[in-house]
Amino acid sequence: MAEAAAPRSPLAGLGKALAEMRADGVTIAEGPARTRLNLRLDQKDVEALTAAGAVLGGSLPRTPNTAATTVNGTALLWLGPDEWLVTGSAEAGAQLEDTLRARLDGRHHALTDVSAMYATIALSGPLAREVLMKGCRLDLHPRAFAPGACVQTSLAKANVILHQTDDAPSYEITVRNSFSVYLATWLLDAMAEHRPA
Amino acid sequence: MRFRLKEGGRIDRAQRLRFTFNGRRYEGFAGDTLASALIANGTHLTSRSFKYHRPRGILTAGAEEPSALVQLGEGARTEPNLRATQVELYDGLTAAGVNAWPSANCDFAAWTGRLAPLFPAGFYYKTFLWPASFWKFVYEPTIRRMAGLGRAPEAPDPDSYDKRHVHCDVLVVGGGPAGIAAALAAGEAGARVLLVDEEATLGGALLGQRHKVDGVDGAAWAQAAAGRLAAMEEVRVLSRTTLFGYYDHNSLSAFERRTDHLGPGTPAGMSRQRLWNIKAGRVVLATGAHERPLVFADNDRPGIMLASAAQRYLNHYAALPGERAVLFTNNDAAYEAAHDIVEAGGTVGAVVDCRHEPAAPLAPKLEEAGVALHTGSVIAATHGTKRVRSVTVAKLGEGGGLSGEQYRIFCDSVLVSGGWNPAVHLFSQSAGKLAFEEARGIFLPGKATQALEAVGAANGSFGLASCLAEGAAAGARAAEAAGFGDGTPPPTPPVEAPEPGAITPFWLAPGQKPLGHGKAKHMVDHQDDVTAADIRLAAREGFRSVEHVKRYTTVGMGTDQGKTANVNGLAILADALGKTVPEVGFTTYRPPYTPVTFGALAGRDTGPLMDPVRRTAMHEWHEAEGAVFEPVGQWLRPWWYPRPGEDKHAAVARECRAVREAAGILDASTLGKIDIKGPDATTLLDMVYTNAFSTLKVGRVRYGLMCGDDGMVFDDGTTARLGENHYLMTTTTGNAAHVLEWLEEWLQTEWPELRVYCTSVTEQWATVALAGPRARDVLAAVAPEMALDTDSFPFMSVKEGIVAGVDARVFRISFTGELSFEINVPWQHGRRLWEALMEAGAAHGITPYGTEAMHVLRAERGFIIVGQETDGTTTPHDLGMDWIVSKKKSDFLGKRAWSREDSRREDRKQLVGILTDDPKKVLPEGTQLVETRGQPPIPMIGHVTSSYESPTLGRSIALALVRSGRARKGETIYAAPESGFLPCKVTEPVFYDPEGAKRDG
Amino acid sequence: MLWIDCPWCGARPETEFRYGGEAHIARPDPATTDDAGWADYLFMRSNPKGVHAERWMHREGCRRWFNALRDTVSNDVLTIYPMGTARPDAPGDEAGGG
């Protein structure tokens, strides 16, 4: 393990614009660096699922379009019938990966470190839904999309993981690095009409 | 405002607005449209017609307007072809009629009207035949000048536009009585409701009439209902919004005009117009009906308008159509317009009813008021130039012609009504089938194919009470379908309104001369200047299909899509063909219902947001260094890095030399990377690559070629074996997503038994290619703990270690032919790695190089680029890459296809090198190659796929695909005639270091 | 805009999917298939007016492939079913049965 060097976020160039954005009813901020592990498991392999759940402190969600948060603050995002994104604090990283790998040893699985692959953008406030609906084709109305809902979809012209975390509503948008500047620019633009006069 | 009533109407007399039309100054009131303000000022002449430049006025009061088209505003904000009937008046508005130069009042091209006999149906097809070249330079520009509609602005649009997606349980289209009732019923049940209405205020037809709902004026009832709807949390009402497109699966699009009524310039941060993409559970179409004109001689003079339009101008805008009106009708309902005018103190000279024994309930009242009633009569002629001044009325004879005496009646406005056409446009767009009802001569919604219901006038129910009842029932049903309420409609309010009464369809009034003779025109399509005679001519010339007649005569092909013209045109065609209307059939309505601006369709997807620009971790560094970027897919990659005073040529040559002589670094982060794990990973790779991976040792790397099952190359890249069952595959930049999908497709659909997981890690890693004889020295400086000598770190192997203080994976692979390392670090450290290498390499002459230098360097070494040396018809054998095709594997993708006859042909195009005899000539890529000089046509034997000036060789080099190319080595062939038959030698496709001696430095 | 039921993610707009062409085209054994048979596998597809069995992949979502029966006239998606299973019966599907 190399000595910790300061990582540079793909959104670093937009830091000022994000920090200075003020809008009525909606806030935007870049999310913190995270540990992210892509976990592939056969969902019929109950033993493997149980083993993973034990390490993670909670069951991997089996319901599509949902995310679960475990007792130790790790979020488990359903990505597909045999695919999850495990996200935890940046510090949790290597240890979580090693423990999971050890417990799943011998079972067909794939555990891939994708911590560095994404940026996250947090959007929150009563008008956050209105802003997202300028570029999201899915129904985000509270009757259809509630805290804990988590989908992979298109937002504007970028593929994202959209996770509603509370009913403010707050959303955590996970986007691949290379699209993050485009997406953040798009969001800032979409918020502009709510700027105070 | 001479024709404005002292009181009444719903305009705000306290707010006076000034405006300019056709160069003249006018005044109107807040609440006016441009059309209503002009009528209040006594101006009916607005513009000139499309083909004959006939004076035209205001025919309607709404979206169906075919003729009062105006050019609104000036400069960058000017907008052509707007319907004056839908332009809301604002202070300072400036507009002019289209198609008139210098003005509608004095039009220089009006002479075309006198030449009308020369412009029959199909005029363009018949006249401008020859020579073909005249189309481009003579005919088309002239026709466009003469017959175009308005002008497009020439400067960029200064306004902003956006889009919004919205979901609802119930979408109600139209804010008239039926739509309001539907929205109330669905909203009260608790469903999510969206009500879309094109006008500024709800009310629809109620705004034009004096009917009462729930004991109050209909418009006041509508306003109260709007208040109730606004108070419902799950109901959204979009006014000034046109539902213009009905697509599959109840997906619809609407066009909202958010600021147009405020005048030019949008408030800061606000979009001028918004496109709504709607996904609806059920749709209630309450789109109303359009009154249809009667077709009679010279029925297009200014002052001639629909009866309902005159009624709307009177009741809503308090504007009389003129001093003295004549009503021409075939139905009872239109009598109401005449009655309202009389009640308001206006004068109606006569009612002309084509029915022989009409029994309109209002007739006695009108006669009492001194209005002459001419039954069994038609208007046989109209008179006046820029405004109708009188009409000639005559009795209808037995054989359909005129009979008896003719009367001249003076008037300055003619109200016409041929009945009502349900607005079935959206129903038709939804792929619903239309049904024709003979009795009223109307097309009605028939069998629906989507989850929708048409109600009220759109459904042929023209009475106010039935509009309310049908709307409420449909709203309740739609809510129930979404799980709200039990489908029982709420009670509807009592109404005071007459029933629509009787109608006798009437399609064509005879004129004083037989149709097509004399100067009179029976106008069917006011926008496209199509007459009844044109349609008859088309029938005589043999056109039978309604689709052909439409295109031949252009009836219904204007921006109004024939809203006032189509049904009349069809009936006249059916009559000419001796068929019924259903036998003739109906053309399909297509989106948009009314025109939509490009701005709204584009939304925010313009300028920097038009398409995502994908950036690497080092992007900002490249920008700061002045790199010129090349788009590769959505990525921007540095193309070259010009130094002050350098052009592309000089910069690329310098970058190439640096790689060959010292060290260069390239941002290779965009290459696709796929992590492949599982006990069957090797089996998968053996199937998708042409060569074998089972023999690859852990820690080593192999180049692979990927083919489709058609045997054609579609990607290449290196794959490293990181563990017994763990590989990292790289792909070309443009194919990264496609290759991952390719692997998944086979795994999920054909080989589900293989236990393999594939995960994209393209953006986990930032990748720097460090190449050149000094590469090892540079890397050693930032990776002091890594053994870099050839024995410890041989060509085509991978190592993990610490580079620039970061965990890294380093591959010893080369795309330049030189000693090369591809260093991968987590993305967020990419910039740091790059800067560390630049610093460490300074002493070694390190030089950043872009994709252009990369292309030159790889071409010198004879490495292909998929998509450049291949085009989807190229096999590995064509590329001379048999060495990478396994002879041992029994099956893999592509193999079977190579034994097909065509794949075995000896004369397939094969990859060769091309050296021009003149070393200074660089052939353009794509240059065609021929065997001999001579007079074309000469058979083409191949084409140049890559061509560069090689700084290393000091001459031009090229790669080409040439028929039987390998057998031609040493021969001279010629670059295509455009290149002056330049002689070229066919060579090996490797120009530099064919033995690969340089790869170890 | 079609809205297609992904078997995992539910109804999603067609822009999230990749169309995969006709379903039930199995890769034949290359060792025993003649040239005509191979060409048939590679290139020949049916193009019915009516119910069509076809493949879709939820590209923007779970990336899973599935089969669907779609009426090419009305664009109605009649049913979806897993890869590797036979074409099911569906209302209005006369060519179905399996």
State mean pLDDT over B29-39.
Answer: 98
Ramachandran angles phi, psi of B742, nearest 5°: -60, -45
* Alpha carbon distance B176, C55 (integer Å): 44
Indicate whether C53 belongs to any domain: yes
Is B614 in Cβ contact with A117 (below 8 Å)? no
Cβ neighbours of A5 in B, within 8 Å: 804-806, 829, 832
Q: How far is CA B680 from the centre of its chain?
A: 46
Q: By the 8 A CB rule, do A61 and A79 touch?
A: no
Beta partners for residue A118, in sequence order: A176
pTM of the predicted model, to two decimals?
A: 0.94
Cα nearest neighbour of C27 on chain B: B750
Is C59 in Cβ contact with B741 (below 8 Å)? yes
Indicate whether A197 belongs to any domain: no
B971 touches chain C (CB under 8 A): no
Mean pLDDT of chain A: 94
Based on the fold, state whether residues A22 and A41 are members of the same structural domain. Answer: no
CATH code for the part of the protein at B164-289+422-496:
3.50.50.60
Structure tokens at B597: 């601006």
State mean pLDDT over B674-682.
Answer: 98
Q: How confident is the model at residue A92 (pLDDT cuts 50, 70, 90)?
A: confident
Query: Is B993 exposed, middle or buried (CB count within 10 Å of its CB: 0-12, 13-18, 19+)?
Result: middle
Q: How confident is the model at residue B148 (pLDDT cuts 50, 70, 90)?
A: low
Superfamily the domain B904-987 falls into: Aminomethyltransferase beta-barrel domains (2.40.30.110)
* Alpha carbon distance B550, B546 (integer Å): 6
Residue at token pair 């959209």: A162
Residue B817 has pLDDT above 50, yes or no: yes
Indicate whether C98 belongs to any domain: no
**Where would I find the H helices in chain C?**
35-43
- B203-261 pLDDT tens trace: 999 999 999 999 999 999 999 999 999 999 999 999 999 999 999 999 999 999 999 99
DSSP B801-836: EEETTEEEEEE---SSSS-EEEEEEEGGGHHHHHHH
pLDDT of amino acid B134 = 65
Contacting A residues, span 69-98, partner chain C, CB-CB under 8 Å = 79-81, 83
For residue B865, the SS3 value is: coil
* All CATH 2.40.30.110 domain ranges in chain B, comma separated: 904-987
* All CATH 3.50.50.60 domain ranges in chain B, comma separated: 164-289+422-496, 293-418
pLDDT of amino acid B902 = 87
* Alpha carbon distance B83, B69 (integer Å): 5
Based on the fold, state whether residues A52 and A92 are members of the same structural domain. Answer: yes
Is B167 in Cβ contact with A117 (below 8 Å)? no
pLDDT of amino acid B582 = 92
Q: How confident is the model at residue B906 (pLDDT cuts 50, 70, 90)?
A: confident
C33, C35, C64: residue with CB nearest B748 = C64
Least confident piece of the model among A1-5, B88-92, B642-646, C39-43 = A1-5
Which domain covers residue C52, as residue numbers? 3-81
Is B744 in Cβ contact with C63 (below 8 Å)? yes
Indicate whether C60 belongs to any domain: yes
Indicate whether C88 belongs to any domain: no
Q: By the 8 A CB rule, do B732 and B706 touch?
A: no
A38 touches chain C (CB under 8 A): no
Mutate to test the interface with B, among A3, A8, A131 (most CBs of B within 10 A): A8
Indicate whether A99 belongs to any domain: yes
pLDDT of amino acid B379 = 98
Please state which architecture CATH assigns to domain B515-584: Orthogonal Bundle (1.10)
Structure tokens at B750: 């054909």
Q: Which CATH number belongs to the domain containing residue A122 in this structure?
A: 3.30.1360.120
Which domain covers residue A150, as residue numbers? 12-32+117-192
State mean pLDDT over B943-964.
Answer: 97
Residue at token pair 């990369």: B854
Mean pLDDT of chain B: 94
Residue A48 has pLDDT above 80, yes or no: yes
Is C10 in Cβ contact with A65 (below 8 Å)? yes
* Alpha carbon distance A193, B428 (integer Å): 36
Amino acid, res. B412? D
Residue B98 has pLDDT above 90, yes or no: no
Q: How confident is the model at residue B139 (pLDDT cuts 50, 70, 90)?
A: low
Based on the fold, state whether residues A19 and A41 are members of the same structural domain. Answer: no
pLDDT of amino acid B934 = 83
Q: By the 8 A CB rule, do B712 and B874 touch?
A: yes
State mean pLDDT over B33-55.
Answer: 93
Q: By the 8 A CB rule, do C56 and C18 touch?
A: yes
Indicate whether A157 belongs to any domain: yes
Helix orientation angle between B464-481 and B177-189, rounded to the nearest 10 degrees = 30
Contacting B residues, span 64-123, partner chain A, CB-CB under 8 Å = none
Q: How confident is the model at residue B132 (pLDDT cuts 50, 70, 90)?
A: low
Which residues, including other chains, have CB under 8 Å from residue B860's CB and lie 6 or more apart? Answer: B817, B950, B952, B953, B957, B991, B992
User: What DSSP state is assigned to residue B399?
Assistant: T
* Alpha carbon distance A84, A56 (integer Å): 12
pLDDT of amino acid B266 = 72
Antiparallel, parallel or unpaired: β B909-916 and B955-963:
antiparallel
Ramachandran angles phi, psi of B706, nearest 5°: -110, 135
Residue B178 has pLDDT above 90, yes or no: yes
Is C31 in Cβ contact with B890 (below 8 Å)? yes
* Alpha carbon distance B44, B38 (integer Å): 7
Superfamily the domain B293-418 falls into: FAD/NAD(P)-binding domain (3.50.50.60)
Is C9 in Cβ contact with A65 (below 8 Å)? yes
* Alpha carbon distance B874, B909 (integer Å): 8
Based on the fold, state whether residues A100 and A166 are members of the same structural domain. Answer: no
Last residue of a domain, one of A96, A115, A134: A115
* Residue pairs between chains A and C whose CB atoms are closer than 8 Å: 36
Q: How far is CA B863 from the centre of its chain?
A: 41
Residue B305 has pLDDT above 80, yes or no: yes
Indicate whether A5 belongs to any domain: no
Q: How confident is the model at residue B726 (pLDDT cuts 50, 70, 90)?
A: very high
Amino acid, res. B436? F
Which residues, including other chains, have CB under 8 Å from residue B542's CB and lie 6 or more apart? Answer: none
DSSP B174-228: --SHHHHHHHHHHHHHT--EEEE-SSSSTTGGGGGS--EETTEEHHHHHHHHHHH
* Alpha carbon distance B226, A72 (integer Å): 51
Based on the fold, state whether residues A152 and A164 are members of the same structural domain. Answer: yes
Residue C96 has pLDDT above 50, yes or no: no
Is A153 in Cβ contact with C16 (below 8 Å)? yes
Amino acid, res. B844? H
Cα nearest neighbour of C6 on chain A: A64
Q: How confident is the model at residue B977 (pLDDT cuts 50, 70, 90)?
A: low
Cα dist. B722→B211, B696, B701, B726, B827 in Å? Answer: 82, 10, 9, 5, 20
Which residues, including other chains, have CB under 8 Å from residue B120's CB and lie 6 or more apart? Answer: B126, B534, B537
* All CATH 3.10.20.440 domain ranges in chain B, comma separated: 12-127
Based on the fold, state whether residues A21 and A71 are members of the same structural domain. Answer: no
* Alpha carbon distance A99, A97 (integer Å): 6
Residue at token pair 């349609």: B535
Q: How confident is the model at residue B586 (pLDDT cuts 50, 70, 90)?
A: confident
Q: Would you identify the CATH topology of the domain B672-763?
A: Alpha-Beta Plaits (3.30.70)
Based on the fold, state whether residues A159 and A175 are members of the same structural domain. Answer: yes
CA distance A186 to chain B (A): 7
B753 touches chain C (CB under 8 A): no
Q: How confident is the model at residue B126 (pLDDT cuts 50, 70, 90)?
A: low
The CA-based dihedral angle spanning residues B982, B988, B989, B993, taken in that order and rounded to the nearest 10 degrees: -120
Q: Which CATH number belongs to the domain containing residue C70 in this structure?
A: 3.30.2270.10
- The question of ipTM being above 0.85 is answered as yes
* Alpha carbon distance A60, A53 (integer Å): 6
Indicate whether A6 belongs to any domain: no
A64, A138, A154: residue with CB nearest C8 = A64
Q: How confident is the model at residue C97 (pLDDT cuts 50, 70, 90)?
A: very low
Cα nearest neighbour of B764 on chain A: A117
Q: How confident is the model at residue B585 (pLDDT cuts 50, 70, 90)?
A: confident
* Alpha carbon distance B570, B563 (integer Å): 12
Residue at token pair 């988590």: A150
* Alpha carbon distance A128, A172 (integer Å): 11
CATH class of B12-127: alpha beta
pLDDT of amino acid B131 = 63
CA distance C5 to chain B (A): 12
Residue B400 has pLDDT above 90, yes or no: no
Q: What is the longest distance spanned by two Cα atoms in chain A?
A: 61
State mean pLDDT over A26-37.
Answer: 95
Query: Is C45 exposed, middle or buried (CB count within 10 Å of its CB: 0-12, 13-18, 19+)?
Result: exposed
Please tell me the total number of residues recorded for chain B in this structure: 1001
Q: By the 8 A CB rule, do A184 and A121 touch?
A: yes
- B325-370 pLDDT tens trace: 999 999 999 999 999 999 999 999 999 999 999 999 999 999 999 9
Q: How confident is the model at residue B128 (pLDDT cuts 50, 70, 90)?
A: low
Mean pLDDT of chain C: 92
Domains held by chain A: number: 2
Q: How confident is the model at residue A94 (pLDDT cuts 50, 70, 90)?
A: confident
Amino acid, res. B817? G
Residue B398 has pLDDT above 90, yes or no: no
Indicate whether A2 belongs to any domain: no
C38 touches chain A (CB under 8 A): no
Structure tokens at A183: 């997406």
For residue B664, the SS3 value is: strand
Based on the fold, state whether residues A88 and A182 are members of the same structural domain. Answer: no
Last residue of a domain, one of A115, A134, A159: A115
Radius of gyration of chain C (CA): 14
Residue B788 has pLDDT above 80, yes or no: yes
* All CATH 1.10.10.1100 domain ranges in chain B, comma separated: 515-584
For residue B572, the SS3 value is: helix
Query: Is A20 exposed, middle or buried (CB count within 10 Å of its CB: 0-12, 13-18, 19+)?
Result: exposed
Indicate whether A107 belongs to any domain: yes
Residue C98 has pLDDT above 50, yes or no: no
Superfamily the domain B619-670+764-857 falls into: Probable tRNA modification gtpase trme; domain 1 (3.30.1360.120)
Indicate whether C26 belongs to any domain: yes
Indicate whether A163 belongs to any domain: yes
pLDDT of amino acid B446 = 96
Indicate whether C68 belongs to any domain: yes
A63 touches chain C (CB under 8 A): no
Structure tokens at B768: 């720097």
* Alpha carbon distance B166, B250 (integer Å): 12
Is B896 in Cβ contact with C2 (below 8 Å)? no
pLDDT of amino acid B143 = 63
* Alpha carbon distance C16, C25 (integer Å): 23
Domains held by chain C: number: 1
